[in-house]
Amino acid sequence: MENPRPLAALRAEIVEQRTKASDLAAEYYERIARKNPQLNAFLSLTRERALAQAERMDALAAKGDPLPPLAGIPIAIKDVLVMQGAASTAGSKILAGYRPPYDATVVERLEAAGAVLLGKTNCDEFAMGSSNENSAYGPVRNPWDTERVPGGSSGGSAAAVAADLAVAALGTDTGGSIRQPASFCGVVGVLSTYGRVSRYGLIAFASSLDRIGPFAGNVRDAATVLGVIAGHDPCDATSLHAPVEDYAAASDRPVEGLRIGVPAEYFAEGLDAEVRAAVERGIAALKEAGCQIKPVHLPHTKYAVPTYYLIATAEASANLARFDGVRYGYRSPRSETLADLYSHSRDEGFGAEVKRRILLGTYALSAGYSDAYYRKAQQVRRILAEEFLRAFAEVDAIVTPTSPVPAFKLGEKAGDPLAMYLADIYTVTASLAGICGVSVPCGTTGAGLPVGMQVLARHLGESTAFRVARAVEAAGI
């Protein structure tokens, strides 16, 4: 497996003119040309825009001007985030050919920081999936074993970083869509606090759950990228006014004295034995580093999956109503009436998983059922959030497996959507609670597949999560 060069080292080479940003971009495009046909991590490339940005960074370096924090760093963007003039499909046929007239806020901030944006990465359609098999443009393959899934929905971004097709990448996480692919692909993935990163320019799945975060080859690089994209945005009413910390510097701080919670509910039946062993080695490494390990209890965890799949699908049914064949995106050629246009365009444009979730969400919101299902799910969501608040009164961070299993084979769960949903048990709780977390590699299975440890911290506790994740990384498990 590739071992991507650290972001800071690449930037230093560009600052000192030992490497040109344009040469670095060309190197990554050559690697994409070689590897992407097999992996299918990228759906489209933004070569002209990327090379123009690289040349700007080279010109600044040649003049000796100060360079921004991501100067010349090649980064990939999940295809649910819009880029002006670039194809933005959300992995769906219904948006084939859509080229938005504006940039997402996170795209603007990356470019302002000097990043070279290589292209758009493959994902489950509208970010709905845990395997990246739901993309209308074919599945992504895991670089560790191309017969296995990379995780989803941000599988293209995770695979791109794991295969060194990008130094870092942006993904989105609604119920685990950054953390689980990070675990499956052996990279670092970040779930930021809800509202920490602007969602302006994100093609919405579930608006109260969707979050944007980075993938990177190591904790410090992920922290650096989050520091660039975080912060208030007047274009997003849900973005927080809290100041942005120096996450990269925070990740360097020692963890001695931190209280680490271990919830028994995340180590119960259904957890793969090798995953358990790897995560327990990570916990032992934290204890060796001077952390105090404490049991914590999150007893309502067992209700998280049904709660999530009621709230997320309800919001999806509302958000995806806009894709009707009228204003943009796919329009069915066999429509004679307006009703036909809506029906045929959505039937032909949406894939099976998206249709399934629209139906589930529409049912949960329908007259006579919304109190029994959607309202009840929101009440359970509050209970789950309060459980985390009580736990964080006793500990500084909570550690769990990211996924109960390592990467599974392509097609293994495709015919059983319920089994696919249940695999999200360790990630959806943090999504519902709005807290932050990091998935960090903590070893491999006997078959050589990576395992991720999930480090959760309280709202706006990203600095703590990065500190703990960095300690696990430093242990070299």
Measured in whole angstroms, the distance separating CA 454 from the mean position of its chain's CA atoms is: 13
Is residue 345 flagged as an active site residue? no
- The whole-angstrom separation of Cα 427 and Cα 216 is 19
Query: Following CA atoms 273, 140, 440, 450 in sequence, which dihedral angle do they give, to the nearest 10 degrees?
Result: 40
CA distance 80 to 78: 6
The closest alpha carbon to 298, from 421, 437, 192, 392, belongs to 392
Rounded distance, CA 137 to CA 139, Å?
Answer: 7
- Residue-by-residue DSSP string for 396-450: SEEEEES-SS-PPBTTSSTT-HHHHHHTTTTTHHHHHHT-EEEEEEEEE-TTS-E
**Which secondary structure element, helix H or strand E, spans residue 341, and what is its range?**
helix 338-349
177 catalytic per annotation: yes
Query: What are residue 411's DSSP bridge partners?
Result: none
Indicate if 78 belongs to the active site: yes
The count of C-alpha atoms lying within 13 angstroms of the C-alpha of 392, restricted to the half-sphere facing its C-beta, is 20
The residue annotated as part of the active site, out of 177, 251, 317, 463, is: 177
Cα 264 to Cα 296, 305, 436: the distances in Å are 7, 17, 20
Active-site position among 22, 92, 130, 153: 153
Q: Which of 20, 35, 78, 120 is catalytic?
A: 78
User: Both tokens of residue 264?
Assistant: 């028994």
State how far the alpha carbon of 259 is from the alpha carbons of 211, 220, 430, in Å. 27, 22, 19
**Assigned token pair, 275:** 């995953």
Closest CA to 103 of 116, 119, 86: 86
Cis peptide before 153 (omega within 30 of 0): yes
Active site residue ranges: 78, 153, 177
